[in-house]
């Protein structure tokens, strides 16, 4: 009698993708208190503080069970504007730190024809969600939330510039590979890029903590915002990038060339399906 439950021909074995993510367990208790205070300062805290803390503890704990180190935070829903989150972060700015600087031509909707739109800047999940900004396991000397340092952002090319003349793997390509592999291998979690709203929340949380300016999120290196892609400013293509220079939040632009200081981020969440 034939054995029909087995495959008729050898099946290809797909090797497991190796992620360059740092292993570790973030401090849930500390992150819960700070995240709850951040939600309060964003005018998003619910009336039941105990319920807020319980929900944060539950979801943050689930995120840490994946075994990766990083920065726990809440990513507010799309109903909460980027401008509102940034204003809350600036409300916590120490007097010794310069006010936020924004390259308006790129970051302010309507300034130029191809500035980022309000819809792009305010995009987010349908409801508030817990996230983990995953650390890289590489010792680079830059902020560990930065991944794929030293690689071109994409393969943009026009008459004047070619950001990837050697056709090297790009940051966007590496991000896509990680996302696809992560969700195939870690079914209860999702992976996405770290965006400008998350950065503003993380900066707010560091300011609530009283972190020294030189140690604040992205005080070493810059993060390119993959979700926003390229805008066109004065006829030149630019990618939005953000950092914290001596505590000052900066929203600027990048041409996309490979630089050791410019990376992209990874944001892990819970599969809500």
> Which of 5-19, 81-95, 116-130 has the least mean pLDDT?
5-19
- Domain spans of the chain, in order of start: 28-270
What percentage of the chain exceeds 90 in pLDDT?
A: 80
**How many whole angstroms separate alpha carbon 270 and alpha carbon 64?**
11
Residue 196 near residue 81 (C-beta atoms within 8 A): no
Tokens standing for residue 198: 């998350």
Is the pLDDT at 218 greater than 80? The verdict is yes
Helix %, strand %, coil % for the chain, to 5? 30, 20, 50
Question: For residues 125 and 271, is the Cβ–Cβ distance under 8 A?
Answer: no
Decide: 54 and 98 in contact? Cβ < 8 Å: no
What does the pLDDT read at residue 219? 96
Give me the mean pLDDT over the 215-222 stretch: 96
Q: How far apart are CA 112 and CA 94, in angstroms?
A: 32
What pLDDT sits at residue 2? 74
Joined tokens for residue 251: 């929203």
The Cα 197–Cα 74 span in angstroms is 10
What's the distance, CA 272 to chain centroid?
19
**pLDDT tier for residue 111 given thresholds of 50, 70 and 90:** confident
Q: Is the pLDDT of residue 15 over 80?
A: no
Query: Mind listing the pLDDT tens digit for each residue in 175-209?
Result: 999 999 998 888 899 999 999 999 999 999 999 99
- For residue 273, pLDDT over 60 is answered with no
Neighbours of 91 (CB within 10 A): 11
């Amino acid at each position: 009698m034939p054995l029909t439950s087995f495959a008729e021909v050898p099946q290809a074995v797909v090797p497991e993708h190796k992620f360059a993510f740092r292993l570790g367990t973030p401090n849930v208790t500390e992150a819960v208190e700070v995240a709850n205070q951040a939600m309060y300062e964003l005018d998003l805290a619910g009336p039941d503080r105990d319920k807020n803390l319980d929900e944060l503890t539950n979801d943050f704990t689930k995120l840490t069970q994946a075994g990766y180190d990083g920065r726990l935070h809440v990513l507010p829903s799309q109903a909460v504007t980027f401008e509102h989150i940034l204003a809350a972060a600036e409300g916590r700015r120490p007097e010794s730190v310069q006010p936020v600087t924004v390259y308006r031509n790129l970051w302010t909707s309507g300034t130029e024809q191809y500035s980022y739109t309000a819809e792009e800047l305010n995009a987010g999940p349908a409801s508030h969600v817990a996230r983990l900004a995953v650390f890289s396991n590489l010792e680079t000397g830059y902020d560990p939330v930065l991944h794929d340092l030293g690689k071109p952002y994409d393969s943009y090319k026009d008459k004047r510039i070619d950001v990837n003349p050697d056709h090297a793997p790009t940051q966007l390509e590496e991000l896509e590979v990680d996302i696809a592999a992560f969700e195939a291998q870690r079914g209860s979690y999702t992976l996405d890029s770290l965006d400008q709203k998350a950065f503003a929340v993380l900066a707010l949380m560091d300011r609530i903590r009283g972190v020294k300016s030189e140690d604040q999120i992205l005080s070493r290196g810059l993060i390119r915002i993959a979700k926003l892609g390229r805008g066109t400013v004065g006829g030149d293509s630019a990618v939005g990038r953000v950092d914290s220079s001596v505590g000052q939040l900066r929203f600027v632009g990048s041409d996309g060339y490979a630089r050791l200081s410019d990376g992209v981020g990874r944001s892990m969440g819970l599969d809500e399906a």
